[in-house]
């Protein structure tokens, strides 16, 4: 009998490799917090906010407890609520629409572009008309920079301006990416991101941040972050949350931000190599002109007629994990199916949810492992 050794499993996202690289620097950073004991609003929080402002080019950065809180806090600060419509793509993680619905406003779901997976501006325009038809006031649009690639911010911003809406960029997957030469965090009124461990810039728990050039909005967000605090702790001028980022997470992020540029370059090298190795057998991701991606996911589309579950199982048998982002667009989820969708429906979101699949992607995927993934994908598809 042939004895095939079980192939060493590939990591979908290798947090352990990054942990090894960070080594003592992150241990020391956490130890400093353990020594000073300012677990809430310690000096690292302010330091991180300054470093993130510097990195992104945004004037004000307000860190917070998660990417979902980042979205929610902005909508709360802007007084978005019942009777308002907020336009969101349907092909995204549910948190985008969830934050809207939690305020009492109505998420109106719009379609995405088939090449970039990001918000389709024509569907956005139809969605605004749909919102009005429902008697809702279109207040905001939340473009998502899906899988790490910036959305078409100029086109979306122009529509928002014409319609008197503000733009809240959901850059939870794409902090570090740029659009027309400028880093995300500087488009629209305000940008939200997440530091969930698996995001390109992740901490060792939950975390998030909000970026804006609007000083007044930043001040309101700082108040919402601590229960709507006014001039002192027991003066509550508005509703808020326990929305802070822990000092320990800030300390971790300060260290991770130091290697982030290098990791972005490494992710791009992996993506380039995948594209060269796979471009003629599957639809590889398209990065639109003027945009960059930091490859939160490397999401391919399988040829028509491929059995996706079978494809995933065959790769898994070779130790190669895959994931499906997203098997169902938001408008087909139980909690969201009663919310309006843009006129004309969302055929692209529905089609993508049936044929996308994401391959292992992280900054520590060496060339030999990339080749293993490429060879396995090619092999399964030609079998």
Ligand X SMILES: *Cc1c(COP(=O)(O)O)cnc(C)c1O
Nearer to ligand X by Cβ, of 49 and 170: the residue is 170
Instruction: Compute the distance between CA of residue 165 and CA of residue 236 in angstroms, rounded to an integer.
Output: 28
Instruction: Compute the distance between CA of residue 119 and CA of residue 90 in angstroms, rounded to an integer.
Output: 9
CB of 192 to ligand X, least distance (A): 7
CB of 145 to ligand X, least distance (A): 8
Beta strands in 262-373 (DSSP E): 298-301, 356-359
Tokens for 229, please give them: 């605090």
Burial of residue 8 (CB within 10 Å: 0-12, 13-18, 19+) is: exposed
Residues 38-77 within binding reach of ligand X (CB under 6 A): 66-68
Residues 127-146 within binding reach of ligand X (CB under 6 A): 144
CB of 224 to ligand X, least distance (A): 16
Nearer to ligand X by Cβ, of 167 and 278: the residue is 167
Tokens for 65, please give them: 């407890």
Q: Is 87 in the site for ligand X (CB under 6 A)?
A: no
Nearer to ligand X by Cβ, of 173 and 369: the residue is 173
Residues 6-35 within binding reach of ligand X (CB under 6 A): none
Q: Which of 256, 234, 253 is nearest to 363 (CA)?
A: 256
Contact string 95-114 vs ligand X (x = CB under 6 A)? xx------------------
Q: Which of 269, 276, 244 is nearest to 377 (CA)?
A: 276
Nearer to ligand X by Cβ, of 208 and 285: the residue is 208
Nearer to ligand X by Cβ, of 245 and 312: the residue is 245
Nearer to ligand X by Cβ, of 278 and 361: the residue is 361
55, 166, 196, 211: residue in contact with ligand X (rule CB under 6 A) = 196
Rounded to the nearest 5 degrees, what angle is found at the Cα of 371, between the Cα atoms of 368 and 375?
A: 145
Instruction: Compute the distance between CA of residue 171 and CA of residue 317 in angstroms, rounded to an integer.
Output: 34
Number of chain positions touching ligand X (CB under 6 A): 15
Residues 166-185 within binding reach of ligand X (CB under 6 A): 170, 172-173
Task: Say if CB 303 and CB 185 are below 8 A apart.
Answer: no
18, 56, 90, 92: residue in contact with ligand X (rule CB under 6 A) = 92
Q: Is 370 in the site for ligand X (CB under 6 A)?
A: no
Nearer to ligand X by Cβ, of 209 and 320: the residue is 209
CB of 99 to ligand X, least distance (A): 8
Q: Is 203 in the site for ligand X (CB under 6 A)?
A: no
- Name 325's Cβ contacts closer than 8 Å, sequence gap at least 6: 93, 147, 297, 299, 356, 358
Task: Say if CB 301 and CB 278 are below 8 A apart.
Answer: no
- Name 216's Cβ contacts closer than 8 Å, sequence gap at least 6: none
90, 194, 220, 247: residue in contact with ligand X (rule CB under 6 A) = 194
Residues 262-321 within binding reach of ligand X (CB under 6 A): none
Backbone angles phi, psi at 198, to 5 degrees: -85, -5
Q: What is the contact surface with ligand X in residues (CB under 6 A)? A: 66-68, 92-93, 95-96, 144, 170, 172-173, 194, 196, 206, 208
């Amino acid at each position: 009998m042939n004895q095939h050794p079980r192939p060493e499993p590939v990591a979908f996202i290798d947090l352990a490799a990054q942990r090894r690289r960070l080594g003592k620097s992150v241990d020391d950073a956490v130890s400093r917090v353990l020594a000073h004991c300012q677990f809430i609003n310690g000096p690292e929080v302010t330091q991180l906010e300054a470093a993130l402002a510097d990195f992104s080019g945004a004037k004000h950065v307000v860190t917070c407890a998660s990417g979902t809180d980042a979205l929610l806090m902005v909508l709360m600060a802007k007084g978005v609520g019942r009777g308002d419509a907020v336009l969101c793509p349907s092909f995204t993680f549910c948190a985008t629409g969830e934050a809207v619905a939690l305020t009492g406003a109505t998420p109106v779901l719009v379609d995405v572009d088939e090449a970039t997976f990001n918000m389709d501006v024509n569907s956005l325009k139809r969605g605004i008309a749909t919102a009005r038809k429902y008697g809702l006031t279109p207040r905001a649009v939340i473009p998502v920079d899906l899988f790490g690639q910036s959305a078409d911010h100029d086109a979306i911003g122009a529509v928002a301006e014409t319609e008197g809406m503000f733009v809240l960029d959901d850059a939870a997957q794409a902090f570090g990416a740029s659009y027309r030469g400028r880093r995300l965090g500087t488009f629209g009124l305000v940008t939200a991101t997440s530091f969930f461990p698996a995001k390109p810039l992740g901490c060792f728990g939950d975390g998030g941040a909000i970026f804006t050039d609007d000083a007044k909005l930043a001040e309101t967000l700082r108040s919402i972050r601590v229960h709507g605090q006014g001039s002192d702790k027991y003066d509550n001028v508005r509703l808020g949350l326990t929305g802070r980022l822990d000092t320990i997470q800030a300390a971790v992020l300060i260290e991770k931000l130091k290697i982030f540029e290098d990791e972005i370059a490494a992710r791009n090298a992996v993506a380039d190599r995948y594209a060269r190795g796979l471009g003629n057998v599957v639809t590889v991701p398209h990065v639109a002109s003027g945009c960059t991606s930091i490859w939160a996911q490397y999401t391919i589309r399988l040829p028509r007629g491929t059995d996706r579950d079978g494809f995933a199982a065959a790769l898994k048998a070779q130790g190669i994990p895959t994931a499906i982002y997203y098997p169902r667009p938001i408008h087909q989820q139980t909690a969201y199916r009663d919310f309006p969708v843009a006129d004309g429906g969302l055929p692209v979101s529905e089609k993508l949810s049936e044929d996308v699949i994401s391959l292992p992607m992280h900054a520590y995927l060496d060339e030999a492992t990339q080749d293993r993934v490429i060879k396995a994908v090619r092999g399964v598809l030609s079998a």
